[in-house]
Amino acid sequence: MTVTATSVDESDQLKPQAAPASRLARLVRLVPAAVAALSGVLLYVSFPPRTLWWLALPAFACFGWVLRGRSWKAGLGLGYLFGLGFLLPLLVWTGVEVGPGPWIALVVVEAIFVALVGAAITAVSKLPAWPLWAAALWIAGEAVRARVPFHGFPWGKIAFGQADGVFLPLAAVGGTPVLGFAVVLCGFGLYEIVRLVLESRSTRVVRRSAAAVALLSVAVPVVGAVAARSLVSDKAEDGTTTVAVIQGNVPRAGLEFNAQRRAVLDYHVKETLRLAARVKAGKVAKPDVVLWPENSSDVDPFADAQAYADIDAAAKAIGAPISVGGVVERGGKLYNEQILWDPVKGPTDTYDKRQIQPFGEYLPMRSLLGAINKNWTSMVRQDFSRGTKPGVFTMNGAKIGLVTCYEAAFDWAVRSEVTDGAQLISVPSNNATFDRSEMTYQQLAMSRVRAVEHSRTVTVPVTSGVSAIIMPDGKITQKTGMFVPDSLVQKVPLRSSETPATKLGILPEMALVLVAAAGLGWAIGAGVRRRRAGSV
């Protein structure tokens, strides 16, 4: 009896000690998940309006740490957490006026692509030179996300967070895929260097080939970016033109401003007339080209005589052609259109937006969404139709390529204007529905990347700001505040030479997708061979 009592006492003493150990083990198992989510947040912090572009490197270094050597199932979950950490704060602006439902739904879907990339990276992480395959897989994921569903959503491409970074010149080499690949490769390479250093300290063995690959993963992107600076120039090749960017402002922020489209048109006419008075007084240089933003005339000037007369009066007062952003109905179809308005001839040319925004300019699955919530269908009563041709306006001898707002996120939409002869790019936008969120700064960074990618001056006329003038080297020379009427006037260079990125087009992205496929195929084949060997 005495022995039994002692055994019970010893057992009771052991139980309280086992519980803390068990809790500690559970906490340790949660560390990779926490690091994955926080790494995604770190990647978000690297994006505009902050200029902390370099934080993308430790973000991917930490992401590499949580993925390397794990199962594909673990990679799927960790990748999803990384995607949520990154995209939830990055895309919060999508719910500014419509509530959290659409914002959460968008992030939940987009994070799936990141999850799939995470699962694929776990497979290639066992291969030699794994940072190369892993970085290529990330770009392959971006390529898919830029195309599906609903014609894609490229927002959040790694390249768009690098407008202030040392890697930016690589955009001129191979566009956003090469720029993004360099950043991701460098991040994974940094982790591999740290891992190999720690490994060599514990084993006293230096794996030279692995160390060389890790060092090259960091060195090649940096050296390549330095070498690519020779491709970046803001010198005029075809003379100069003086542009005026008009920001008329809106009566108030939010979706309601569309119900006040007459006031928005009046504001842009008024700001143009104010600029004309300053030009007449000799305070500002006379512009050769005047650029209005998207939705600056939601009153169809082809159907409304007063709107036609007001725009015509503004063009005559300033004495220069105006690119007017209008909403036009033609043949029973609705178009988001840029209209070239000559001070003498009136409207002479048009460009219809080709990459229209799902759930903003057209409603996919309209009947299904209407059954869920009738308010959603009432917000987009009629779908916009897509344009079919690039838009390059000849304005006082300068060829201006039009890329309307959302289109700036799509590689093909910008490149097509340059290959069609654009010497300058204009990105007319309307960000009023997103209030003072980070959206306008994220979009402005895209335009800076596009300037370097194609070596063109880029102007960004926005209804409510931030409007800006960007040189071909990506530097902003002038910009406005938000929700104020203003105008920017500047002599800018015209350029016609094509960067390697412009000439190559989709080829760099295709090459990186093939590299990703080759690495994944190698990893899957190696895994199959290991399983067969183990079963023998």
Catalytic positions are 294, 353, 405
Classify 222 as helix, strand or coil: helix
* CA–CA gap between residue 111 and residue 315 (Å, rounded): 47
Q: Which two tokens stand for residue 239?
A: 């003379």
The residues with which 84 forms a beta bridge, in sequence order, are: none
Query: DSSP state, 53?
Result: G
Q: How far is CA 485 from CA 394, 460, 461, 462, in A?
A: 27, 15, 12, 10
| Buried/exposed code over 212-239 (b: 16+ C-beta within 10 A; e: otherwise) | ebbebbbeebeebbeebeebbbbebeee
Q: Which residues lie below 8 Å from residue 16, measured CB to CB, with a gap of 6+?
A: none
Exposed / middle / buried, residue 331 (Cβ in 10 Å: 0-12, 13-18, 19+):
exposed
What does the alpha-carbon distance between residue 459 and residue 448 come to, in Å, rounded to a whole number?
10
- For the four alpha carbons of 251, 353, 113 and 138, in that order, the dihedral sign comes to negative
Q: How far apart are CA 353 and CA 413, in angstroms?
A: 10
DSSP category for residue 287: P
Contact 328, 300 (CB under 8 A): yes
What does the CA dihedral 62, 65, 70, 72 come to, rounded to 10 degrees?
40
Q: Alpha-carbon distance 412 to 339, whole Å?
A: 22
Match 């057992």 to its residue by tokens: 11
Cα 370 to Cα 461: distance, rounded to the nearest angstrom: 34
Q: Are 422 and 392 in contact (CB under 8 A)?
A: yes
Q: What is the Cα–Cα distance from 469 to 323, expressed in whole angstroms? A: 16
